[in-house]
Amino acid sequence: HEKSLEIKLKALGPDHPEVGRSYNNMAIVHEHQGHLDSAMELHEKSLDIKLKALSPDHPDVGTSYYNMALVREQQGHLDSA
């Protein structure tokens, strides 16, 4: 995923939705490895990019919010999940 991100950053720039998707994919890997803090950081980066590049009601933005809620739930932060 890191090599893919590197290529997309060079080809598309840091604010392209595909870059956001790469951060999302990396976050999911971190989540599955149990690295929840880094997963949340990557999900936040993904969401920031998607909010800049897409409308707030775009399905990809919704996916980011959902994925962040899953991580918060695993962290025990049910009130913010």
For helices 36-53 and 59-74, what crossing angle results, to 10°? Answer: 160
* Side chain identity, residue 28: I
pLDDT digits (tens, 9 = 90+) for 6-51: 999 999 999 999 999 999 999 999 999 999 999 999 999 999 999 9
Q: Which of 8, 46, 48, 3 is CA-nearest to residue 28?
A: 46
Q: What does pTM read for this prediction?
A: 0.89
- By the 10 Å C-beta count (0-12 exposed, 13-18 middle, 19+ buried), 79 is classed as exposed
Quick one: DSSP state of residue 78?
Answer: G
Q: Which of 40, 16, 14 is CA-nearest to residue 26?
A: 40
